[in-house]
A and B are shown apart, each in its own frame.
Chain A
Amino acid sequence: MSVMKQKQDSNSWYFLDVLTGLRITMKHLLTNLFNRKKMITLNYPEEKYEYSPRFKGNHVLTVKKDGSIRCTACMLCATNCPAECITIKASEHPDAQVEKYPISYEIDILRCVFCGFCEEACPVDAVRLGPEWQTPGLNGANFIYDINHLAYRSNLKGGVQSILDDQDRHKAGI
């Protein structure tokens, strides 16, 4: 909404406002100079801010106890995704108890809006939004993350285990 300001006499005397501004600037300069612990800026590449554990960064596909992918390819995440960035191809698993599993699970990370709806839709805790977010790439870098990257990239150290497991579920009679 555009707001038209009326010209008033008090507005044309701006010198006092400049002084108020300078006072704030000087206050921050002096506190930063003499009390560096209170300084709110970071020296970015060397120092990194720690986000809360609920931060929604790049996706992680969780794994079962045996290290295989937990995802059952139900496509609820892809259905729920508002950016339509998830593509899954399902296939028949040799184990009848598992039945369906993804042979390809791709997330177009440039389309993703990190809303976390996929995580919410997942019935088996197979996809989570992890803490990492500093994943730049040069022009032509692969921003379509495939199943191996999502589940087994090196900084996941062999995969994140899901809380739900098929074996546990079957033992519980589900």
Chain B
Amino acid sequence: MLKCTINGVALEVKPGTTIIQAMSENSQKIAHYCWHPGLSIAGVCRLCMVEIQGNPRVQIACNTTITEGMVINNTSDKVKEAVKWGLDFHLINHPLDCPICDQAGECGLQDQYMEYGQYDSEMAEKKQKKHKVVDLGPTVVLDSERCILCSRCVRFTDEVSKTHELGIFNRGDHAEIGTHAGKKLDNKYSLNTVDICPVGALTSKDFRFKQRVWYLKESQTVCNGCSTGCNVKVHYNKEGLFRVKPVYNAEVNGHWMCDEGRDTYKFVNKEARLLKGSKYSNKAWQIDLHSGAVAKETALNLKEAKPEEIGLVLTGQHTVEEYEAIVTAFVNFYKTKNIFHWINNKDSFDTFDGLLLRGDKNPNTKGLLQTLDKYGITSKWTDLEDGLKTKKIKYLVVAGPENTFVYPDLQSKLQLFSQAENFIFLSSARMPALESYAGDNKISLIPLKTYIEKDGTFINAMGLAQKFKKATTVVSEALTLTEAAALITGQNINITETPAENLFIATNKRPDQVQLEHRKKNEFVFNRGRL
């Protein structure tokens, strides 16, 4: 271990650590654009300047490894001046189009300008015009004028996705990012280039102009796009969810996530959701029913049934806690072991592309299998098909998938399920295929909550259990599978209200502060008569 001092703080670091690594690991602020912890060092932005004792000039922190006894400082006026003029050079050709730039609000240039810059430009020359709105591929749009040529995106395609689509072309003022001739930026990780772009040069086609970023809140969760279980944050406001971005987790996804996972917000938004419960009996639909009421009614039906007439189908898209609740309900309350695992794409189930994407498009297959093992359930899918054909299974409860895009067999499976005399479908997605059903059997539709709207645990393909918290509520009437399990067994749901004192942490309270409850209640009464 090497000893060094950064900004007056004595640190011990491993040999080979660069200054910028040591600083970011010890949460010290340093301006930088081209350095990214997940990529190689380029040293092109010249912004991470630090003063090292004994060296006459400032040096870049990203490409300087720490030596024994180094004394480093990046808060001196000398460093600030260097960063300021470095920034001035970055901004020579940068257009002033923050109002129409999607990055505004989370832009590196804006941040550093407010921190170090705040000067009037001293350039007399006109700004260099470059290409705007360049279509790089199916997911990304490039604005060359905004680009500061930090080369992060180029290094990403070279080092992480290894697809080598991007490069820097021309020299000097005319240098531009672009794709090599005849190539498109079209790989399964292309949108990571948008995340790592410190300015608004690369923007996502999907998110472009949808919202200003300052209207969005963010919340951490686990992606439910596939069994890798990448750590992500979702950005949402009262209108719904707008985008998904990766969160660093060294054990699971590193800094990245795939493009497919970024679509996982789409089935959460209201347009794709089942909003109310509905029932089909005597060849007519009753719509706009309360989901709890529908679930309670199914409980009355199920109680009349014999154990072997009841079946339950589960997908790998729900949380461990929910599986536990619903499997206990069926095994212990209804005394049935007819519980089946609906596998969506059997052929590609075990494939893995070597980086993040897995063929198993369910976030919690492992969790489901563990729960089924725990209760000793061995029933096979063919048992269900036979049972439905021979009318042995009359009551079928199905907890459908949230992400219906990855269930290509949805239509055929729904046809199979609706052979049951009483088909109870718990689903978060709207099912237009079922709405046109015109058979003799009874169908109940109960809306479920999605992974954004509940707390829970997913166990990913590596067997790592990851807990996540509720981000927001999109469909307030939807039930979680735990609630549905309680209602289906005829119990009531306990609604526990968290008192406001537990919800908020008072940060402005002194430990010795005296509480005056009655006084807080009616400040006006207490202040009346005073001037």
Chain A interface residues toward B at CB < 8 A: 1, 72-76, 79, 90-92, 96-97, 99-100, 123-124, 170, 173-174
Contact = CB atoms under 8 A, between A and B. Distances in A.
12 contacts: A72-B100, A74-B99, A74-B100, A75-B215, A79-B215, A92-B133, A92-B209, A96-B131, A99-B100, A100-B100, A123-B99, A173-B127
B514 interface: no
B209 A100 contact: yes
B502 to A, nearest CB: 30
A123 B131 CA distance: 23
Contacts of A173: 126-127
B100, B210, B214: residue with the most chain A Cβ atoms closer than 10 Å: B100
Interface string B78-113: 000000000000000001111110000000000000
Interface string B98-142: 111000000000000000000000000011010111000000000
Interface string B183-208: 00000000000000000000000001
A174 B127 contact: yes
Contacts of A72: 99-100
Contact of A97 (B132, B209, B210, B215): B132
**Chain B contact residues, majority secondary structure:** loop
Enumerate the 9 nearest inter-chain pairs by beta-carbon distance, A residue then B residue, closest first: A173-B126, A74-B99, A96-B133, A100-B100, A90-B209, A96-B132, A72-B100, A75-B212, A123-B99
A124 B97 CA distance: 11
Interface residues of B, number: 19
Interface string B498-531: 0000000000000000000000000000000001
Contacts of B133: 92, 96, 99
A99 B127 contact: no
Contacts of B95: 174
B488 to A, nearest CB: 42
Given A1-B531, A72-B99, A96-B133, 16 more contacts: A72-B100, A73-B100, A73-B209, A74-B98, A74-B212, A75-B215, A76-B99, A90-B209, A92-B133, A92-B208, A96-B131, A100-B100, A124-B99, A170-B129, A173-B126, A174-B127
A165 to B, nearest CB: 15
A132 B192 CA distance: 50
A154 B215 CA distance: 34
Contacts of B129: 170
Contacts of A76: 99
A110 B126 CA distance: 45
Contact of B96 (A92, A99, A174): A174
Nearest to B126: A173
A16 B500 CA distance: 62
A106 to B, nearest CB: 15
A73 B102 CA distance: 11
A73 B132 CA distance: 18
A92 B95 CA distance: 18
A91 B132 CA distance: 16
Contacts of B100: 72-74, 99-100
B96, B208, B210, B212: residue with the most chain A Cβ atoms closer than 10 Å: B212
Contact of B214 (A1, A79, A100): A79
A99 B97 CA distance: 10
Nearest to B96: A174
A151 to B, nearest CB: 18
B98 to A, nearest CB: 8
Nearest to B143: A99
Contacts of A124: 99
Nearest to B530: A1
A1 B524 CA distance: 12
A36 B214 CA distance: 58
B147 to A, nearest CB: 15
Contacts of A92: 133, 208-209
A75 B105 CA distance: 12
Nearest to B131: A96
B235 to A, nearest CB: 16
Contacts of A90: 209-210
Contacts of B208: 92
B132 A99 contact: yes
A79 B132 contact: no
B151 to A, nearest CB: 24
Contacts of B210: 90
B208 to A, nearest CB: 7
A76 B98 CA distance: 11
Nearest to A170: B129
A173 B97 CA distance: 13
A41 B463 CA distance: 83
Contacts of A123: 99
A131 B133 CA distance: 39
A60 to B, nearest CB: 19
A6 B212 CA distance: 61
A86 B226 CA distance: 40
A151 B143 CA distance: 30
Interface in B439-477: none
A109 to B, nearest CB: 22
